[in-house]
Amino acid sequence: MQIRSLMLAVAVAATGMTSALVTTSAQAQAKEQFFPVLPYRTGAYAPNGVPWGNAYVDYLKLINTRDGGINGVKITYEECDTAYATDRGVECYERLKGKAQGAVFQPLSTGITFALTEKAPADKNPLITGGYGRSESSDGQVFKWNFPLQGTYWSGADIIMQIITKKEGGNIKGKKIALVYHDSPFGKEPIPLLQERAKIQGFDLQLLPVTAPGVEQKATWLQVRQARPDYVLLWGWGVMNSAALKEAVATGYPREKMYGVWWSAAEPDVKDVGEAAKGYNGLVATGEGGKVIADIKAQVHSKKQGTGPIEEVGTTLYNRGLVSAALAVEGVRRAQERFGKGKVMTGEQIRWGLENLALDQKALDKLGLGTVMKPISTSCLDHEGSRSARLHTWDGKKWEYSSDWVEADDSIIKPLVKQFADKYAAEKKLTRRTPADCQS
């Protein structure tokens, strides 16, 4: 297992010293906020996990070099490669959780998230699961330590169905919708939302699981060819996505009728298919890079401190990793506003910060994030904070935005969230948080 440990130091203007990297053993000598990093740089999903991980670390470096840390508190991190395996993810969590008095973890895996949801409350470590994890964990009254910021899989599925419905003139009754999904907790997450929409809208839902890692899909696409669905939703990750597109080409299924979730719509998913993937649509929850991308190139990569190749900076998954890191940093910054600027925050304090995020456009612009992410505001009742995305479409060589931002429909999602959160609470013998606890 690959373990990295760095401390990111900032240039001291008075002496002209250049920034340097030292090990986390220096933590006892300075005020330092520890960030565990759980990417996957090995295994079947590495091509997608690597750019996310590179961006996550690049952003932490940027905060130190550009800003001098979080209100003067330097950032340290240690990386542990999960290989997208739940057992290794839990092992990484156990390895890193004692490095600080609580820290924010981002598992980048729904399976790992399910496992850590049971562990994090006792350890007082908040979990950010931006764009993945348990969809019902947006209910902060039950899931005190989970933060599926910027959209759950129910939000993503709902947005895709809104876009398809609009394309069909507002009526999809009798249409056939096939979900080709990774046969794992990740792939199964959108099913309750799609089943609910099928009841409401009257479309026929076909569920087609694909065994991980998803290289072999011939039998699945034979079913697609036989059923001839009007649309195919792709809920894949890593090699599964390009394999699905290649099978769609082989069976003659139109790529313009395929819609992928945000983890199925990045450069690694289409680059090997190229022109043949033209017309394929996918969700994206981030925008263009703007100032923060320029800052990373100028203040991290130009100083030979980039975590990966500069060519990937600003790509789809890179931007997603960058925003993930920014949300963690801003959770700490928000906590400092209440518990003391310039102080190292505990896990409990960071949890409060994440539950009280208030990043409007002005705040995002100040951080250089104004074009790469949407404003977000969280509360005890809402740990998701923001639930909008748009489409981009592959033109054979690059992604082009092809829709406006679409907000998920709370009138459908909120009842589902309460139903599943209540079920989880009953199973785990939990009680909903009181108003007093929500203020703590």
User: Per-residue pLDDT tens for 304-329?
Assistant: 999 999 999 999 999 999 999 999 99
417 CB-contact burial (10 Å; exposed 0-12 / middle 13-18 / buried 19+) = buried
Q: Is there a contact between 372 and 322 (Cβ–Cβ < 8 Å)?
A: yes
Say yes or no: 192 and 101 in one domain: no
Classify residue 166: in a domain, yes or no.
yes
Say yes or no: 321 and 272 in one domain: no
Say yes or no: 75 and 104 in one domain: yes
Say yes or no: 158 and 15 in one domain: no
Lowest mean pLDDT among 10-14, 53-57, 211-215: 10-14
Say yes or no: 228 and 126 in one domain: no
Say yes or no: 68 and 191 in one domain: no
Say yes or no: 26 and 136 in one domain: yes
Give 337-391 pLDDT, tens digit per residue. 999 999 999 999 999 999 999 999 999 999 999 999 999 999 999 999 999 999 9
Say yes or no: 14 and 147 in one domain: yes
Which residues constitute the domain of residue 53? Answer: 3-151+287-378
Mean pLDDT of the chain: 93
Task: Decide if pLDDT at 14 tops 90.
Answer: no
Round to whole Å and give the CA distance between 128 and 373.
Answer: 16
**What is the pLDDT confidence band of residue 160, given thresholds at 50, 70 and 90?**
very high
Classify residue 341: in a domain, yes or no.
yes
Say yes or no: 131 and 48 in one domain: yes
Task: Give the global pTM.
Answer: 0.92
CATH number of 204's domain:
3.40.50.2300
Number of domains in the chain: 2
Which ranges of 252-376 would DSSP assign to H, the alpha helix?
Answer: 267-270, 291-299, 316-339, 347-355, 361-367
Q: What is the largest CA-CA distance in the chain?
A: 72
Say yes or no: 63 and 47 in one domain: yes
Say yes or no: 146 and 172 in one domain: no
Q: In angstroms, what CA-CA distances link 46 with 215, 239, 242?
A: 14, 9, 14
Classify residue 314: in a domain, yes or no.
yes
Predicted pLDDT at 12: 33
**What is the pLDDT confidence band of residue 30, given thresholds at 50, 70 and 90?**
low
Task: Decide if pLDDT at 9 tops 90.
Answer: no
Predicted pLDDT at 28: 44
Predicted pLDDT at 20: 36
Classify residue 184: in a domain, yes or no.
yes
Predicted pLDDT at 289: 82
Query: Beta 281-284 vs 406-407: how paired, if at all?
Result: unpaired
Task: Decide if pLDDT at 13 tops 80.
Answer: no
Classify residue 131: in a domain, yes or no.
yes
Residue 125, both tokens: 């470590």
